[in-house]
Amino acid sequence: MSRFRTRTATAAVLGSLGASLFAAPAGASPAPPAAGCPVLWVLAVQGTGQSSPAASPTADTGVLGALLGPVVAAVPNLVQRTYIPYPAGFGGVPGAGGGPESYTVSVTDAIRQLDAAAGQIVARCPATELASIGYSQGAQAVSQFARDVGAGRGPVPPAKVAAVALYADPERTAGSPVFPGRPGQTVPDRPPGTTSGAVSTVRIAAPLAPGSGIAADNASYGSLTGRVADVCVDGDLACAAPQRAALLRVGAEIAAQADLSNPIAAAASLQRVLSAALGTAWNTVVLNDFDLGPATVDYRPRAPLSKRLIDAADPRIPAPPPEQVREANQRWNQITATLLAHPTEVPKLASQLAGAWAQLVADDADLTNPAVWASFAATVTAHDGYAATGQLASGIAWLVAVAHDLAQGGHR
């Protein structure tokens, strides 16, 4: 979601872990992998501005380079890595880096490339297990990949994915623990089919961040639950946005679809996306939240107006098809005709709509709280600091431990 480029000394990260984390577990020495096929292949998706379609698939740069560089150095014969090249853009925002593509197009391309790489690796190296890591925009792509795999609709079976680590994930669920779906868990589940216990010595105990990702959608990881870690630091607006800030989320979703390369393009693009979102929200409300009788009209929302707006602006949710738009128009004509024929319904309906507006204001209460905004004054530093503050250390230890466990003969 941002243009941050973290610079961290690999030696400092390695030192913080301690030599014991990189030592092979007791027992037989790890067997060498088949030619060209390691026991573990890590697929990494960098954040905004840290990749491009022509980026090197093996250069340890950016935030994730500070994680994978030490992993490969610790177990070079057991692990290979591929950084997924993709536009890593945010609508061409000046200074953000990445390509001119919108954030939505960029993430979609990353997911497509990640799916393809995973499928190709498993097809070429059937005994190799996968891990995937993502940071910021890249974490959103990896999150979608993991959800698809966990639901059984991904490019590889769930049993082929040994570990997933997300940092600054914009899709982080509200109040999510470090292991989504596993409150209180700090030790990753072992990779499927393994019997040795290096992973059992790893602790991923990042502090629980408040709020949720700016693009949270409450999905789950299915069969991968327990093998997906979601690390977020307090103050990082990408993954710890305030809960009562519905319009902030709507704005982020609209900006994610826009051309922001210059003021003129941005104004036209934002207006187009906003108009489409408001139209979608209105159609959804008319179809779902009004009860119409022969002489009555009532606004009885099945979902808060804030959720209607968030869903309408969400590029992951398809817009209603033309037949639903026509149905909404017809229904609105029926509503207005009923109100004209029975004007005593108007005051009641106005009161109900006023209640919906009050709820919308309440759902945005954090936007008027100075203390909330004060907590995000250092959001750039928080988002940029995952390596510098040691948040990557446990991920390094985890991937090294996974590689050792897979190499001990328990891996298929």
CATH number for the domain spanning 388: value is: 3.40.50.1820
pLDDT of residue 34: 42
In a domain, 5, yes or no: no
Contact criterion met (CB below 8 Å) for 189 and 227:
yes
What integer pLDDT is reported at residue 370 of this predicted model?
A: 84
Measure CA 280 to chain center: 24
Count of structural domains within the chain: 2
Say yes or no to pLDDT of 97 above 80.
no
Residues 158 and 233 in one domain: yes
CA distances to 43, 81, 99 from 120, in Å: 12, 14, 26
Give tens-digit pLDDT for 221-235: 999 999 999 999 988
Q: Is there a single domain that holds both residue 238 and residue 314?
A: no
Give per-residue pLDDT as tens, 306-362: 999 999 988 888 888 999 999 999 999 999 999 999 999 999 999 999 999 999 999
**In terms of domains, do 342 and 200 share one?**
no
Residue 4 lies in a domain: no
Kindly state whether residues 124 and 221 are assigned to the same domain. Answer: yes
Decide if pLDDT at 411 tops 50. no
Residues 111-121 pLDDT 10s: 999 999 999 99
Q: Model's pTM, two decimal places?
A: 0.83
pLDDT in the model for residue 409: 64
CA 142 to chain centre: 7
Same domain, 145 and 290: no
Specify whether 230 is located in the same domain as 316: no
DSSP 347-365: HHHHHHHHHHHHHHHHTTG
207 and 171 co-located in one domain: yes
- pLDDT at residue 10 greater than cutoff 50: no
**pLDDT tier, 94 (very low <50, low <70, confident <90, very high otherwise):** confident
Tally of CB atoms within 10 A around 11: 9
pLDDT at residue 382 in the model? 87
- Is the domain of 263 the same as that of 238? no
Provide the residue range defining the domain that includes 34. 10-243+376-410
Cβ neighbours of residue 4 under 8 Å, at least 6 residues apart? Answer: 47, 48, 49, 63, 136, 380, 383, 384
CA distance 380 to 237: 9
Is 269 in the same domain as 393?
A: no
* pLDDT at residue 412 tops 90: no
Asked if pLDDT for residue 35 goes beyond 70, the answer is: no
Using CA of residue 153, residue 252, residue 323, residue 291, what is the dihedral sign?
Answer: positive
| Each residue's pLDDT tens digit, 122-179 | 999 999 999 999 999 999 999 999 999 999 999 999 999 999 999 999 999 998 999 9
